[in-house]
Amino acid sequence: MTQLHDLTAHELAGRLAKGEVSSREATSATLARVEATQALGAYLHVDASGALAAADASDARRRAGAARGPLDGVPVGLKDIFLTDGLPTTCGSKILEGFIAPYDGTAVKRLKNAGAVVVGKLNMDEFAMGSSNEHSAYGPARNPWDPTKVPGGSSGGSAAAVAAGSAFATLGTDTGGSIRQPASFCGVVGLKPTYSRVSRYGVIAFASSLDQVGPLAKDVTDCATVLQAVAGWDPLDSTSADVPVPDYGKDLEAGARGLRLGLPREYFVGGGDPEVRAIVDAAVKAYEKLGAKLVEVSLPTTDYAIACYYLIATAEASSNLARFDGVRYGQRRDPGAGLREMYEATRALFGREVKRRIMLGTYALSAGYYDAYYAKAQKVRTLVRRDFDRAFGACDALLTPTSPTAAFELGKKVGDPLEMYLADVFTVSANMAGLPGLSLPCGFTHAGLPVGLQLLGPHFSEPLLLRAARAYEREHEWAARRARP
Ligand code: GLN
C-alpha cells in the first residue's frame, strides 16, 4: 500500500485539494517518518511544533477557500545553509553551533509564502564543502538505499530526506554539484538553476560567483513547482537576475521529439564505473526512441575543470569565511589573552576540510601567486564558458552522467581530498559557466543503488531541461521507486 510519505508533492497537493487528507495529517506523517528514519542523520534540527502550527494555518486557509497553490500545506525541508527566523542555522559547522538567524532568507520566505510547511533543517557538509556529507561537524547523513553508503554532498541531507520520505521536497545549494550529485546518489530529481535565477539573500555564502539555490524532489513536476515558488528577482540580492520567471509547468508534457541533445565526447571517455556508464548509455538511447536527435559535441576544457573550480571556489571561500571570527556570528572562544588569540581559538572550530580550503584559497589569492593561480583560473573559466557556447550552437541541451560512480562507501574517500574532488568532474563546469543543470534518476546498479543522468542547458533554459527530463521520466518508472530505509 502506498503510504502518505511515498506520495510526490503534487500527489499530496491533489489529496489536500480534495480534502482527503489535511496538512496536519501529512505533517504528522512526515514527522513520524523523520523519527523512523533518524538513523539516516538527514536532519540536524526538527521543528515539530512550528511545522504543526504551519500545517494548521494551511488547513485553516483551505477551509476558508484561500489555499495558496500547489505547495500549500506540503511538508518540506531546508539545507542548514538557509537562514531561518527562529530556528538554528549551523551550516554543518561547530562554529555556528547555537546560531539563530534573525530573519528568513528570500527562498525560505517565498516557500513559506507559498504555504509550504518547514519541517526542519537538513544535514550537509560543513559550509557546503564536500561531496559525501562526511564533512558535517554533526556526523554524516546516510544513503536511504544503503546506509553503508554516502548520500552525496554537500546537500546530502536534502537528498536523503526526499528519498526517505521525510520531506516531500527540499531546498539545497549547488556550488560545484551539491544539488545534482546527491540527487543522483539518492535517486531523486535535483535542479541547479541558472546562476542568478534564485535569490541567495539569507544563504550562507561559500563561493559567491558559483553558488545557486535549487530544489530536490521526488519527480520533475515537483522540481518545477518548487522552482516556481522560489525563482525571481530579489532587490536584496544584487546578483539575482531581473529576468521574467516563466511558467515552469507549461511545457512539462511537451515531450522530447525534435530536441537536439548533445553528448560531450569528453564526458564519455571511461574512467568511471562501467556499470554506471552502461546505465547512462541506455538512458541516452532511450532519448533517441523518444524522438530526440543525438549529436556529438566537444567540451575540450573538461580536463581543466576540476583544477580551475577548486582554485576559484577555495579563493572565494577564504574571503567569505573571514566573517566567522567570533565577533559577529555564532561561537566565540576567548582564552582571554588578546584579540588574535580569540580569533585563533574561535576559528580552530572549523573542520579539517574547511581549514584546508581556507588555506588553499588564501594561498591562491596571495601576492606573487595570484596571477599564477587565481587569475589563470579565471581565464580558464572563460574558456569553459566558450566551450558551452559553442556546444549550444549545435544542440539544445547536453546529456551526461551526473557522477562517474554510484554512491560510494562511507569512509572510502574522506581521507583523500583529491579523490573526493574528482567525484565532481561532471558537475563543476556548469557552475563555472553559470548554466542550469538537472539530475534525473535513470536506473539502478545491481547492488540497488540509483544512477543519475545530467541534463545541462543554456542560461535560463530551465523550462527545456524540465521538459526533456519529464519526457524520459514518464516513460521510465525509476523516479517512482522508493527507498525502504
Ligand atoms: N563537492 C564540491 C565541493 O566540495 C561542490 C560543493 C557544492 O556544490 N557546494 O566544493
Mean pLDDT, residues 403-419? 95
- Identify the three-state secondary structure at position 291: coil
Ligand 1 atom closest to 424 (CA): 1
Cβ-based neighbours of 409, under 8 Å, separated by 6 or more: 148, 149, 150
Ligand 1 atom closest to 313 (CA): 10
Catalytic residue among 131, 154, 199, 318: 154
49 catalytic? Reply is no
Task: Output the average pLDDT for the chain.
Answer: 97
In a domain? residue 401: no
For the stretch 295-332, pLDDT in tens is 999 999 999 999 999 999 999 999 999 999 999 999 99
Ligand 1 atom closest to 130 (CA): 4
In a domain? residue 71: yes
- Phi then psi for residue 440, to 5 deg, are -130, 135
In a domain? residue 33: yes
In the reported structure, the alpha carbon of residue 134 is separated from the centroid of ligand 1 by a whole-number distance in angstroms of 12
In the reported structure, the alpha carbon of residue 174 is separated from the centroid of ligand 1 by a whole-number distance in angstroms of 7
pLDDT value for 35: 98
Q: What percent of the chain has pLDDT over 90?
A: 98
Number of domains in the chain: 1
At position 36, the amino acid (one-letter code) is A
In a domain? residue 101: yes
- Cell readout for 268 is 564519455
Nearest CA to ligand 1 atom 10: 129
For the stretch 131-150, pLDDT in tens is 999 999 999 999 999 999 99
Residue among 61, 76, 48 at smallest CA distance from 16: 61
CA distances to 209, 328, 342 from 346, rounded to whole Å, are 27, 12, 6
In the reported structure, the alpha carbon of residue 349 is separated from the centroid of ligand 1 by a whole-number distance in angstroms of 20
Nearest CA to ligand 1 atom 5: 176
At position 246, the amino acid (one-letter code) is P
In the reported structure, the alpha carbon of residue 165 is separated from the centroid of ligand 1 by a whole-number distance in angstroms of 24
For the stretch 244-298, pLDDT in tens is 999 999 999 999 999 999 999 999 988 899 999 999 999 999 999 999 999 999 9
Cell 477551509, located at residue: 63
pLDDT value for 270: 81
* DSSP string computed for 170-195: EEEEESSSTTHHHHHHHT-EEEEPPT
For the stretch 39-71, pLDDT in tens is 999 999 999 999 999 999 999 999 999 999 999
2 vs 77: which has the higher pLDDT: 77
pLDDT value for 1: 62
CATH code for position 99 = 3.90.1300.10
In a domain? residue 94: yes
Pocket residue to mutate for ligand 1, from 131, 158, 200, most atoms within 8 A of Cβ:
131
Ligand 1 atom closest to 353 (CA): 4
319 catalytic? Reply is no
Mean pLDDT, residues 348-376? 96
Nearest CA to ligand 1 atom 4: 130
pLDDT of 479 over the 90 cut: no
Ligand 1 atom closest to 179 (CA): 8
In a domain? residue 211: yes
Inter-residue contact 112 to 205 (CB < 8 Å) = no
Domain interval for residue 39: 4-255+437-480
79 catalytic? Reply is yes
In the reported structure, the alpha carbon of residue 154 is separated from the centroid of ligand 1 by a whole-number distance in angstroms of 6
Catalytic residue among 79, 109, 121, 413: 79
Mean pLDDT, residues 340-365? 97
In the reported structure, the alpha carbon of residue 143 is separated from the centroid of ligand 1 by a whole-number distance in angstroms of 18
In a domain? residue 82: yes
- Identify the three-state secondary structure at position 458: coil
pLDDT of 429 over the 70 cut: yes
- Cell readout for 204 is 550562507
Relative to beta strand 169-174, strand 117-122 is unpaired
Ligand 1 atom closest to 174 (CA): 8
Cβ-based neighbours of 56, under 8 Å, separated by 6 or more: 23, 24
In a domain? residue 73: yes
Mean pLDDT, residues 358-367? 96
pLDDT value for 271: 83
Q: Is the peptide bond before 28 cis (omega within 30 degrees of 0)?
A: no
Cβ-based neighbours of 65, under 8 Å, separated by 6 or more: none
pLDDT band at 2 (very low <50, low <70, confident <90, very high): confident
Residues with CB under 6 A from ligand 1: 128-131, 154, 174-178, 206, 313, 424
In the reported structure, the alpha carbon of residue 178 is separated from the centroid of ligand 1 by a whole-number distance in angstroms of 5
Measured distance CA(373)–CA(366) in Å, rounded: 9
For the stretch 89-133, pLDDT in tens is 999 999 999 999 999 999 999 999 999 999 999 999 999 999 999
Catalytic residue among 22, 93, 155, 178: 178
pLDDT band at 394 (very low <50, low <70, confident <90, very high): very high
- Cell readout for 429 is 563546469
Measured distance CA(435)–CA(431) in Å, rounded: 6
